C-alpha cells in the first residue's frame, strides 16, 4: 500500500512504532512491554485495547471492570498483516530507528530532540498515514490526503538513513505545506498508562496522543481547531508551542507533572463519557 508495486508480504506490521508505547528502558531498570491503553472513538461506538502490563487498577479507573469476554477479545488493532511489502516495511523502520534515538533526551523547557525536523516530519507523517489507512483509530483522512501522504512517504522514505534526501524534502511543495507541533509528557511515572488515542474532534490539526507524545499534525499548516475545540485543557500551551516545518531542527515542548495529571484526568473523563454513552 505504500509503493503500490510489490506484493504486501509482511505480517505483523505496526501502524504505531512499538518504542513509543513501551517504557524507556532505563526507568528503574525495567524492560516491560505492553503498557498501552488504546482507544478508538467513533461516532457510534468506542473500542479499546490494552497492553499486557497495564495495571488492573488503571484499567478499572478508566473503563471499569473488564469482563472475561473483553479480555479474550483484547487485540491490538494497530498491528496488521499484508499491508506493506518487505522493502517498504524496512524503509519505515529506517526512519523509526533514527527517531528512536531521540527519546532518551528530554528537557524542562522547549528542547531540540536532536534530529532535523524533515526527518521528524517523515516519521510522524508515516504514523498519521498508517493510522488513517488502517482505519482502526477512529480518524480517517480524506482519500486525497491519504494519497498525498503516501506519495511523499514513498518518495522520501530512504532505504538507508544516509540516503535521506534532505534537500529534496526542503524543496518539495507537499512537504513544505505540512507542519507539526509536538508536546511530551516528560514526567510520566511507571504506573501511568500510555494512552493511544486519535482525537476524534480534530482535523486542523490532527491530534494524536501516543504514549508520552502529543502530536498535532497539519497537512496544510492549519491549527484553527485549537481555538474552538478542547484539547484536554492544554490548548494554550499547544498554541504557544513551536511549529516544526521541514526547515530546522525538531523542537518539543515538555509538559510538567502537574499539567500532565490535569491533562490525563481530562483524557480519562472524555473516554469515560464516550465509553458510558456509547455501545461497545
Ligand atoms: Zn512496498
Ligand 1 geometric centre to CA of 42 (Å):
29
Ligand 1 geometric centre to CA of 194 (Å):
30
d(Cα 176, Cα 200) in Å, to the nearest integer?
25
Q: What is the pLDDT of residue 267?
A: 94
Q: What is the pLDDT of residue 120?
A: 98
Higher pLDDT, 27 or 207: 207
Distances from the Cα of 239 to the Cαs of 94, 184, 223, 253, in angstroms?
31, 14, 8, 11
Summarize the confidence of residues 82-93 as an average pLDDT: 96
Residues in the chain: 280
ipTM exceeding 0.85, yes/no: yes
Ligand 1 geometric centre to CA of 185 (Å):
34
Higher pLDDT, 181 or 191: 181
pLDDT digits (tens, 9 = 90+) for 259-280: 999 999 999 999 988 887 765 5
Ligand 1 geometric centre to CA of 10 (Å):
10
The pLDDT-based confidence of 23 (bands split at 50, 70, 90) is low
pLDDT digits (tens, 9 = 90+) for 247-261: 999 999 999 999 999
Higher pLDDT, 159 or 72: 159
d(Cα 34, Cα 32) in Å, to the nearest integer?
7
226 touches 259 (CB < 8 A): no
Ligand 1 geometric centre to CA of 196 (Å):
26
The pLDDT-based confidence of 32 (bands split at 50, 70, 90) is low
- Most confident by average pLDDT, 23-32, 64-73, 164-173: 164-173
Ligand 1 geometric centre to CA of 121 (Å):
20
pLDDT at 27 exceeding the cut of 50: no
The pLDDT-based confidence of 25 (bands split at 50, 70, 90) is very low
Summarize the confidence of residues 49-61 as an average pLDDT: 82
Ligand 1 geometric centre to CA of 5 (Å):
6
Ligand 1 geometric centre to CA of 87 (Å):
6
Query: Which residue shows C-alpha cell 501522504?
Result: 149
For the ranges 51-60, 173-182, 225-234, the lowest mean pLDDT is seen at 51-60
Mean pLDDT computed over every residue of the chain: 90
Ligand 1 geometric centre to CA of 95 (Å):
15
Among candidate residues 120, 103, 47, the one with its CA nearest the CA of residue 78: 47
Ligand 1 geometric centre to CA of 91 (Å):
9
Amino acid at each position: 500500500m505504500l509503493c503500490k508495486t510489490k506484493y504486501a508480504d509482511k505480517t505483523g506490521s505496526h501502524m504505531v512504532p512499538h518504542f513509543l508505547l513501551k517504557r524507556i528502558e532505563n526507568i528503574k531498570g525495567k524492560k516491560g512491554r505492553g503498557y498501552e491503553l488504546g482507544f478508538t472513538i467513533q461516532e457510534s461506538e468506542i473500542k479499546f485495547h490494552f497492553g499486557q502490563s497495564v495495571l488492573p487498577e488503571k484499567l478499572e479507573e478508566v473503563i471499569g471492570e473488564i469482563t472475561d469476554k473483553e479480555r479474550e477479545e483484547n487485540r491490538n488493532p494497530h498491528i496488521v498483516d499484508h499491508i506493506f511489502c518487505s522493502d517498504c516495511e524496512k524503509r519505515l523502520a529506517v526512519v523509526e530507528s533514527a527517531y528512536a534515538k531521540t527519546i532518551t533526551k528530554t528537557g524542562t523547557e522547549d528542547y531540540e530532540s536532536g534530529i532535523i525536523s524533515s526527518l521528524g516530519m517523515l516519521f510522524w507523517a508515516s504514523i498519521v498515514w498508517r493510522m488513517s489507512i488502517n482505519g482502526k483509530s477512529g480518524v480517517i483522512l480524506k482519500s486525497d490526503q491519504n494519497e498525498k501522504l503516501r506519495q511523499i512517504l514513498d518518495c522520501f522514505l530512504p532505504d538507508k538513513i544516509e540516503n535521506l534526501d534532505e534537500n529534496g524534502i526542503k524543496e518539495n511543495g507537499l512537504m513544505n505545506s505540512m507542519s507539526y507541533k509536538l508536546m511530551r509528557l516528560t514526567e510520566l511515572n511507571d504506573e501511568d498508562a500510555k494512552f493511544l488515542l486519535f482525537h476524534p474532534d480534530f482535523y486542523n490539526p490532527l491530534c494524536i496522543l501516543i504514549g508520552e507524545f502529543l502530536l498535532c499534525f497539519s497537512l496544510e499548516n492549519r491549527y484553527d481547531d485549537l481555538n474552538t475545540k478542547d484539547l484536554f485543557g492544554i490548548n494554550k500551551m499547544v498554541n504557544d508551542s513551536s511549529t516544526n516545518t521541514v526547515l530546522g531542527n525538531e523542537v518539543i515542548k515538555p509538559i510538567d507533572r502537574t499539567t500532565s495529571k490535569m491533562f490525563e484526568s481530562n483524557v480519562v473523563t472524555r473516554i469515560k463519557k464516550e465509553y458510558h454513552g456509547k455501545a461497545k
